[in-house]
Amino acid sequence: MELQAGDKAPDFKTTDQNGNTISLKDYKGQKVALFFYPEDDTPVCTAEACNLRDNFSALKAKGITVLGVSPNDEKQHKKFEQKFQLPFTLLVDDDKKIANKYGVWGEKNMYGHIFMGIKRTTFLIDEKGKIAHIIKRVLSKKHTEQILKAWQL
């Protein structure tokens, strides 16, 4: 069943780029932008991450915590974070358990080539742990704008 705005955001437990154990319930009482992206250090994913980095202070000023999720491991996330000076947490989902809970792991079609992968999606989760909004058509170079507009901040 596909998640909808108003649903309780599925909890998860994983590690970040620094080896810290992270779970969604750690962020209860905060607004969270949970963005799923296919792979570290690829052109579109880098554009999205850098847009969030470049506008991080605006997001932080509105009380939004940014969490990125991809199937990459801690080491790859750490390299990505350092190469682009990313100020937010990158979560490891190498077993795709989080992506499956959120319904973003699935069949993709690129230039007629069908394969399984992460469907670039951002979930805006409110202070009570409910999904406030789902951004399915992420504009990598304008993602911060989409997040702020969706939350009308």
CB-based contacts of 84, cutoff 8 Å, min separation 6 = 46, 49, 50, 53
User: Which member of 22, 33, 45, 86 is catalytic?
Assistant: 45
* Residue 103 zone, left/alpha/beta (φ > 0; ψ -120 to 50; rest): left
H-helix or E-strand spanning residue 25? none
Report the alpha-carbon distance of residue 34 to residue 104 in Å, rounded. 12
Catalytic, 50? Answer no
62/121 Cα distance (integer angstroms): 21
Q: Spell out where 2-150 has E strands.
A: 13-15, 21-23, 31-36, 64-70, 89-92, 105-110, 113-118, 121-125, 131-135
Active site residues: 45
